[in-house]
Amino acid sequence: MMITESLIEDIILSHGTRGMDRIRAAVPVGYCERAADLILKNKGRVLIGTGFPVGGSFETDGPIGAIALYRVLAGLGDEPIFGCAPPISKVLAGDFRTLEIPILSWEASVPVVESALADIRPSVIVSIERPGVSDDGRYYNMRGKDISDFLAKFDLFFNLCNCPTIGVGDGGNEIGMGSVLAELAKLPIIPSVTPCDELVIATVSNWGVYGIIAAMSRKVHQDLFSLFDPVEIVQYLVDRGAVDGKTGAADCTEDGFSLAVGLSIITRLRELVSA
C-alpha cells in the first residue's frame, strides 16, 4: 500500500522547480492516502477554498483542481461548497454552490467565519492553492509581494473549525504549510504559518488534488477521474478571466506548464491505480 502511495507522490512531485522535493522528507509518506481517508470517512458538506489573486484576477492553479474535486465529491454523494472571495466567487457562483467570503480585516472576518461554520457545519475543509497568512499577519505571493488587500481570511476556517482540514500547496506560502514551517526556511519565500491536519504537496497544486483523487479511486474501486474533464475546466476558467499564475497570461496553462503536462500526470495516476 505504501509503495503505491509513494508512487502517487512521486508522480505529483515530478517536474519540480520550487522546492517541494526539498521539504518532502518533512511530510510523511502516504499523505495523499491520508487525505483521501479524511474525505471518504467524513461524508457530508465539504468546504473547498481556492483562488490565488493575480493581477486583479485569479490563477488557474487551484481552481482547476477545486472544480475537479467538487465534481468527484458530488459524484460520491457529498455536498461540496466553494468558499472564496471576489472575483472568483462571482465566477463560480453561477454554476456551483458557493459561499462568498468578504475581504475584511482579520478581526472583522472572525464573526463572519464563525457564522459560516455554524451554518454550513462542514465535515471536512480543503484549501487548494489559497494564500496563507505569514507570521507578520500579511499575505505574500511567490515573489514576496504583499497581496493582503485582495484576500479573504480563509485561514480562519482552519483555525476555528472542529472538523478535519486538508491543505494543498506547491510553494510554501499556502494555507496548510505552517505544518512544515521549519523546513520552509530552506526556500526563498515568505511562508504561511497556518497549519492543517493533512498537508498535500505537489509541483502544481492541481496535481496534488489529482493525487488525492487517485488515492480515493483506489479506495472506492472506481475511476473517479471519469467524473471531470480538465480541458473543459481550464477553458471554463480562462474564458471567465483566469490567468496563469507564473506568466500572468490568459492561457490554458498552469504555473507555466502546458496543459499537456497536467494531462500526462492524470494519465500516469490512472495507470497506476488501475494496475
* Residue percentage of the chain with pLDDT more than 90: 89
- Measure Cα distances from 161 to 65, 110, 197, 244, 273 in Å: 23, 12, 12, 31, 33
What pLDDT is recorded for position 16? 86
The answer to whether residue 266 scores a pLDDT higher than 80 is yes
Using alpha carbons only, give the angle 177, 183, 187 rounded to the nearest 5 degrees: 85
Count of CB atoms within 10 A of residue 162's CB?
A: 7
Q: Total domain count for the chain?
A: 1
C-alpha cell of 126?
480543503
* Structure confidence at residue 1 as a pLDDT band (50, 70, 90): very low
Could you tell me the CATH number of the domain that includes residue 33? 3.90.1640.20
Using alpha carbons only, give the angle 245, 249, 253 rounded to the nearest 5 degrees: 65
Q: If you average pLDDT over every residue of the chain, what do you get?
A: 95
Could you give the maximum distance between any two Cα atoms of the chain, in Å? 50
Among 18-32, 40-54, 112-126, 225-239, name the one with the lowest average pLDDT: 18-32
C-alpha cell of 247?
506568466
pLDDT digits (tens, 9 = 90+) for 159-201: 999 999 999 999 999 999 999 999 998 889 999 999 999 999 9
* Structure confidence at residue 21 as a pLDDT band (50, 70, 90): confident
Structural domain of residue 52, as residue ranges? Answer: 2-274
What pLDDT is recorded for position 2? 56
Backbone φ and ψ for 245, nearest 5 degrees, come out as -65, -25
Q: What residues contact residue 36 under an 8 Å CB cut-off, 6+ apart?
A: 212, 215, 216, 218, 219
* Residue percentage of the chain with pLDDT more than 70: 99
pLDDT digits (tens, 9 = 90+) for 145-154: 999 999 999 9
pLDDT digits (tens, 9 = 90+) for 110-129: 999 999 999 999 999 999 99
Q: What residues contact residue 169 under an 8 Å CB cut-off, 6+ apart?
A: 129, 132, 175, 176, 177, 192, 199, 200, 201, 202, 205, 208
- The length of the chain, given as a count of residues: 275
